[in-house]
Amino acid sequence: MSISYYQLATQSTTRVLNNLDHLIDMAMAFCTERKIDESVLFNDRLAPDMFPLARQVQLVSDMTKGCAARLAGIEPPSFADTETSFEQLKERIKKTVDFIATLKESNFADCEKRDIKLPWYDNALPAEVFLLQHALPNIYFHIATAYNILRHNGVPVGKRDYIGKI
């Protein structure tokens, strides 16, 4: 059995987004139970030169929709990075999942032959390199960082929350 670009760019990334949504639910519950202003977690970061939690979530959104769209041969939608609450981050995650759900397997026909041009790289990347060496590692880096920010702050997230139901 082989795995398709479609499965990796849509199904696996939607799973990441759903797991991220669950992590945000846990952060919200933690803040409510402990009477902590959500901005404390929302704006926290692991190190001074790293992005805060909110930006990590925005980047997971950007990377997942960008991965799927570029491999499908279309421009990814642009979402303004204006979220100021966990509820707004959850809305962004939902918009991202909804966008990815519009893509059909037929959109990915012959995508392995495409070269993917990214504005921040000088050269286009072959689809396989884009997916396996750029998109997926970045997606997992940013969700892991979001998870680590929450865990570092005492939110009772565990590996099963990160991985999700199998």
Would you say 62 and 79 are in contact if contact means Cβ atoms under 8 Å apart? yes
The predicted pLDDT at position 1 comes to 66
CA distance 59 to 56: 5
The predicted pLDDT at position 119 comes to 84
- Give every residue of the chain whose pLDDT is below 50, as ranges: none
Instruction: For the full predicted model, state whether its pTM sits above 0.75.
Output: yes
Would you say 68 and 116 are in contact if contact means Cβ atoms under 8 Å apart? no
Neighbour count for residue 89 (Cβ, 10 Å)? 25
Tokens linked to 73: 């041969």
Which residue in 49, 52, 55 sits closest to 79, CA to CA? Answer: 55
Which residue in 51, 50, 19, 25 sits closest to 38, CA to CA? Answer: 25
The predicted pLDDT at position 114 comes to 92
Locate all alpha helices (DSSP H) within 12-165, ordered by sequence.
12-34, 38-42, 53-72, 86-101, 127-129, 136-152, 159-163
Q: What is residue 115's three-state secondary structure?
A: strand
Would you say 27 and 150 are in contact if contact means Cβ atoms under 8 Å apart? yes
Neighbour count for residue 55 (Cβ, 10 Å)? 19
Would you say 31 and 38 are in contact if contact means Cβ atoms under 8 Å apart? yes
What is the amino acid identity at position 86? F
Domain 5-163 has CATH 1.20.120.450: yes
Cα–chain center distance at 75 = 17
The predicted pLDDT at position 40 comes to 96
The predicted pLDDT at position 95 comes to 99
